[in-house]
Amino acid sequence: MSVDFPNIRHMRVFVETVRTGSVSLAAERCSLSQPAATQAIGRLEADIGAPLLVRRARKFTVTPCGALFVRRVETALDHLHQGARASLRGPREGSAKRRPYDRLVTSAQLRTLIAVANAGSFTVAARTLDLAQPTVHRAARSLEEIAGVPFFQATGSGVELTTAAMAFVLGAKLAQAEIRQGIEEIGKELGEDLGTFNLGSLPLARTSIVPRAVHALISSTQGVQVRVVDGRYPELLRSLREGDLDCLIGALRDPPPADDVTQEPLFLDELAIVAHPSHPLAGRKGLTLDDTLAYPWVAPPKSTPAGTYLFETLRIDQQPTTPVRVVSSSLVMLRGILAEGHYISIISRHQISIEESDGHIVPLDVSLTNSSRTIGLTYRSNWRPTDTQMLFMKHLRAYGVAAHT
């Protein structure tokens, strides 16, 4: 049993039983017989590995585990509903006449859809799910029939999801993340110190903030894991919005990147123009940007905050002869190439704190105006962290603020 998506009908029966206090009423609302509804609850409890309901005085009440799980299930089912509604919008789908189909889909279909979306191929998705390719293809096509709108479009290298499918995938992934959190909360209620925090880390935070926060969490828990994902901001933001990541830490964006995320400031960080300690400009006072233009530059990509400042504020690419010879966002690459010659770059002063203290990189005495940027946390606006996730967020906040004091 894959606990990322327990049987959806079983979860609906569970929610309705909690709402009504009656399996009979829950069965009626879910179009099941009472024995089938009772069996559904038993199977869900077996899948989850915890009692969710108890019968007292001819009425069902939730256990502590059930109280935790029902909140997550209700939210997950709402994500599926909103995803189905969003997939039916638009002139091609005739959304005004179609009803959301989320109550008709199965867990197997959702797992298949997510796997195909991630892989871009039925064949690769089948390998991921450890299923035969025809089985995956049938599940995907049956979901498409239930939705009543095109979900898949063949390409030369595999398959692409339509706009409608991507809307439903978003709901499915957020539902999957919610269920995962519910499973982890039940585990903690049962005395299991388990769970995973999925953190997207941008360059600045990797040097000290994230390592210290990770160590603090691991030191105070037994089985919790932290999954740190490095990458470009657009990809990390997408993973965050889809529920694959719990939080991002790094430079915040102005304006905010999307309506469904919240940005929480931690501190202001200043940029610095840097070089190797052996550079001819190292140690000189009162330098200007013009003094650096005779040397080759290693520039961060334009899409990064430092790159935006370099290209849009300093306008380094509008010089008669641009000094930019290398473009890279890798600190390892920067450290290596600065050591090879008289190169210059621009980067967060905090990001090179270790390299500076070790004597590998030094800031040059070039005054930069309006170079500060806000460093902080980004998370989904409707995200409800577990207790373990809140603890890790507390560490991130504490070490983030301490890094700038």
HEC-encoded secondary structure of the chain: CCCCCCCHHHHHHHHHHHHHCCHHHHHHHCCCCHHHHHHHHHHHHHHHCCCCEEEECCEEEECHHHHHHHHHHHHHHHHHHHHHHHHCCCCCCCHHHCCCCHHHCCHHHHHHHHHHHHHCCHHHHHHHHCCCHHHHHHHHHHHHHHHCCCCEEECCCCEEECHHHHHHHHHHHHHHHHHHHHHHHHHHHCCCCEEEEEEEECHHHHCCHHHHHHHHHHHHCCEEEEEEEECCHHHHHHHHHCCCCCEEEEECCCCCCCCCEEEEEEEEECEEEEECCCCCCCCCCCECHHHHCCCCEEECCCCCHHHHHHHHHCCHHHCCCCCEEEECCCHHHHHHHHHHCCCEEEEECHHHHHHHHCCCCEECCECCCCCCEEEEEEEECCCCCCHHHHHHHHHHHHHHHHCCC
pLDDT for 206 equals 64
In the numeric block, the tokens 């995320």 are attached to: 261
Quickly state the pLDDT bin for 95 (edges 50, 70, 90).
very low
Residues of the chain with CATH 3.40.190.10: 193-268+374-402, 271-371
Given a cut of 50, whether residue 1 has pLDDT beyond it is no
What average pLDDT does this structure show over 84-107? 77
Quickly state the pLDDT bin for 351 (edges 50, 70, 90).
confident
Q: 8-170: which CATH architecture?
A: Orthogonal Bundle (1.10)
pLDDT digits (tens, 9 = 90+) for 189-205: 999 888 899 999 987 66
What average pLDDT does this structure show over 66-86? 97
Residues of the chain with CATH 1.10.10.10: 8-170
In angstroms, the first-to-last Cα distance of the chain is 49
Q: What percent of the chain has pLDDT over 70?
A: 95
What average pLDDT does this structure show over 248-277? 93
Task: For the domain covering 193-268+374-402, report its CATH number.
Answer: 3.40.190.10
Mean pLDDT, the chain, integer: 91
pLDDT for 366 equals 96
In this prediction the pTM is 0.87
Burial of 183 (0-12, 13-18, 19+ CB in 10 A): buried
Given a cut of 90, whether residue 231 has pLDDT beyond it is no
pLDDT for 205 equals 64
pLDDT for 2 equals 43
Q: What percent of the chain has pLDDT over 90?
A: 78
Given a cut of 60, whether residue 183 has pLDDT beyond it is yes
What average pLDDT does this structure show over 16-25? 94
Quickly state the pLDDT bin for 272 (edges 50, 70, 90).
very high
For the domain made up of 271-371, give the CATH fold: D-Maltodextrin-Binding Protein; domain 2 (3.40.190)
What average pLDDT does this structure show over 366-380? 93
Least confident span in 100-109, 314-323, 340-349, 372-381: 314-323
